[in-house]
Amino acid sequence: MAEVQETDFVIVGAGIAGLRAAIGLAAGGARVLVVTKEALGESNTNYAQGGIAVAMSGEEDVALHLDDTVNAGDGLVNREAARVLVEEGPLRVEELLRWGTEFDREGGELMLTREGAHSRNRILHAHGDATGAEIGRSLLRHARAIENIELLEWTTTFDLMVEDGAVTGIGLLDRDGMVSRVRARAVLLASGGAGQVYSDTTNPAVATGDGIAMAWHAGAEIADMEFYQFHPTALSLPGVPRFLLSEALRGEGAYLRNARGERFMERYHPLQELAPRDVVARAITREGMGPTGETLPVYLDMRHVTRIDPATRFPGISKFLAEHGLELRRDPIPVRPAAHYLMGGVRTDVHGRTSLPRLYAAGEVACTGVHGANRLASNSLLEGLVFGARAAEAMREEKPMPVRSAAASPEVAGATSGIERLRSRLQQTTWEKAGLLRDAEALTAAHDEIGRLESESPKGFDRPLIELGNLETVATLIVRSALARQESRGAHYRNDFPKRDDARFGKHSLVSKGNDVTFVEFQRAEAIA
């Protein structure tokens, strides 16, 4: 039997969504435990460069932000969730300003930039290209000052406790291999994305889709898993991580050029370099395919932009490039797409409620339908803030749990070898067969290969094995949902069904344990009973 502790609320994850929710929950005096897999600050939030989209200049701005969000989502945005996002966004950002977030300013005024598919400049940024780190810093400082928030680092949540159909706590594994359990009135999943399911990703190592896998195993509904946004411009140098080259570079005027040095985006979309991300990512993929299947380079070119000093406007990017002998002012930068943001996840309503009682989700792990088939750039930090705050409000309404005896713990076995090899086979399979360009044959082959990997995966219980199992679950959900959606929409592109088909697929995909993928509408805020 594992040791069982009690608290009021548990939050899995200390990115923007988890920290904002913790502050909201603690305001009522409740005890809040926030668990993170690595050090505080190691999250997708920490790496967010470009900024946070927010309509700060009144009603017209809010209405335009809503339109842009809906348009980017390619016919699938849950309008109610998007309305909440854009209307409550300014309040949440003003709160951040009060808590000491230092967004960049010029002459005392907040500076605003623009990214792809935004109709006006509305993106706040901090320290040039370190927006997420600055927001994370200020939220963490605020959370640390609140006595009833406990922050637990280097601890992996490995499952959800379910009693009488309700989620009543979590299982924890610390870095010394000790297992424990925590019971709570409600659990919030704020565990972020799953970029590690692909071999090429901008996401850090912690992004292994744990929250989605745990929710799935507990029986929750999972939605829109076929919609993975590939960022068009990650640095493409052999042996170097896929470092993100923010869309804000194109917002400031950078061009894309193919191996012949030609600008090519005008052949793909009227907005050219600022077209929606899926369009730009597929264009780069196509331009990067040689006539005999060889890979050709594609470049991001900022040499003509003299209006700004790239080293001042993008200090983090410039520093990373300099470490690899490149300079924005002097060199065309080799780029290619990489898995970046998961639009799908644990289905929630606009209060963060999932389909399981007492289980909530907010941020990238959740699917409110706010991004539809494609996220508008810089809307996800805002999503974490707005829906993290809302989830906290709803969780505070949960009644205390009846007292129960200790829960059984899993069999603990030592570390097993060969896991890295299995993980990279999985990542490669997902990248090649369920990536930017998909078809039934490749997706079916991916499904079979993931099944083989699952049966070859060693049994045991340590963090690498827990993550491998979660990645296999997430990969299967992506492939099953991508197979079921026989059309192309947003970030999901099928070579064998290249057109959008509203009559059959103008809905969200939904899947839960033991059930086939179905297609449903998320038309109402209170869609989840």
Answer yes or no whether residue 344 interacts with ligand FAD by CB under 6 A. no
User: Would strands 3-6 and 109-110 be described as parallel, antiparallel, or unpaired?
Assistant: unpaired
**Residue 159, token pair as written in the block:** 């499952």
User: How far apart, in whole angstroms, are the C-alpha atoms of residue 413 and residue 409?
Assistant: 12
Answer yes or no whether residue 48 interacts with ligand FAD by CB under 6 A. yes
Please say which residue, 30 or 151, places its beta carbon nearer to ligand FAD.
151
Of 138, 98, 129, 133, residue with least CA distance to 111: 129
What contacts 519, CB < 8 A, 6 or more positions away?
Answer: 484, 504, 505, 507, 508, 509, 510
Site string for ligand FAD, 227-266 (x = CB under 6 A): -----------------x----------------------
Please say which residue, 475 or 517, places its beta carbon nearer to ligand FAD.
475
The CA-based dihedral angle spanning residues 226, 231, 237, 242, taken in that order and rounded to the nearest 10 degrees: -70
Q: How many CB atoms lie within 10 A of CB 461?
A: 19
What is the secondary structure of 382-418 as a DSSP string? Answer: HHHHHHHHHHHHHHTTPPPPPP-PPPP-PPP----SS
User: Would strands 298-301 and 255-257 be described as parallel, antiparallel, or unpaired?
Assistant: antiparallel
Answer yes or no whether residue 38 interacts with ligand FAD by CB under 6 A. yes
Answer yes or no whether residue 13 interacts with ligand FAD by CB under 6 A. yes
Answer yes or no whether residue 2 interacts with ligand FAD by CB under 6 A. no
Answer yes or no whether residue 18 interacts with ligand FAD by CB under 6 A. yes
CA–CA–CA angle 90, 45, 277 (5° rounding): 80
In angstroms, what is the minimal distance from the CB of 204 to ligand FAD? Answer: 7
Of residues 191 through 230, those in contact with ligand FAD by CB under 6 A are 191-193, 202-203, 206-207, 210
Q: How many CB atoms lie within 10 A of CB 455?
A: 6
User: Would strands 508-511 and 518-520 be described as parallel, antiparallel, or unpaired?
Assistant: antiparallel
In angstroms, what is the minimal distance from the CB of 290 to ligand FAD? Answer: 28
Answer yes or no whether residue 44 interacts with ligand FAD by CB under 6 A. yes
DSSP tag of 160: E
In angstroms, what is the minimal distance from the CB of 293 to ligand FAD? Answer: 29
Of residues 361 through 390, those in contact with ligand FAD by CB under 6 A are 363-365, 378-381, 384
In angstroms, what is the minimal distance from the CB of 266 to ligand FAD? Answer: 26
User: How far apart, in whole angstroms, are the C-alpha atoms of residue 412 and residue 459?
Assistant: 10
Total binding residues toward ligand FAD, as defined by CB under 6 A: 44
User: How far apart, in whole angstroms, are the C-alpha atoms of residue 228 and residue 238?
Assistant: 24
In angstroms, what is the minimal distance from the CB of 506 to ligand FAD? Answer: 25
Please say which residue, 46 or 476, places its beta carbon nearer to ligand FAD.
46
Of residues 121 through 160, those in contact with ligand FAD by CB under 6 A are 131-132, 156-157
Out of 277, 282, 336, 489, pick the active-site residue. Answer: 277
Q: Which stretch binds ligand FAD (CB under 6 A): 38-46, 68-76, 94-102, 409-417?
A: 38-46
**Residue 342, token pair as written in the block:** 């998961």
Location of structure tokens 């195993």: 217
Answer yes or no whether residue 37 interacts with ligand FAD by CB under 6 A. yes
Residue 319 half-sphere exposure toward CB, CA atoms < 13 A? 8
- Encode burial over 472-484: b for 16+ CB neighbours within 10 A, e otherwise: bbbbbbbbbbbbb
Choose, by CB under 6 A, the member of 2, 10, 14, 187 that binds ligand FAD: 14
Location of structure tokens 């907010």: 362
Q: Which stretch binds ligand FAD (CB under 6 A): 184-192, 266-274, 294-302, 431-439?
A: 184-192
In angstroms, what is the minimal distance from the CB of 156 to ligand FAD? Answer: 5
Cβ–Cβ under 8 Å, residues 494 and 443: no
Q: Which stretch binds ligand FAD (CB under 6 A): 360-368, 389-397, 444-452, 494-502?
A: 360-368
In angstroms, what is the minimal distance from the CB of 18 to ligand FAD? Answer: 6
Does residue 277 have an active-site annotation?
A: yes
Site string for ligand FAD, 49-68 (x = CB under 6 A): xxxx----------------
| Footprint of ligand FAD (CB under 6 A) | 12-18, 35-38, 42-45, 47-52, 131-132, 156-157, 190-193, 202-203, 206-207, 210, 244, 341, 363-365, 378-381, 384
The residues that are catalytic are: 277
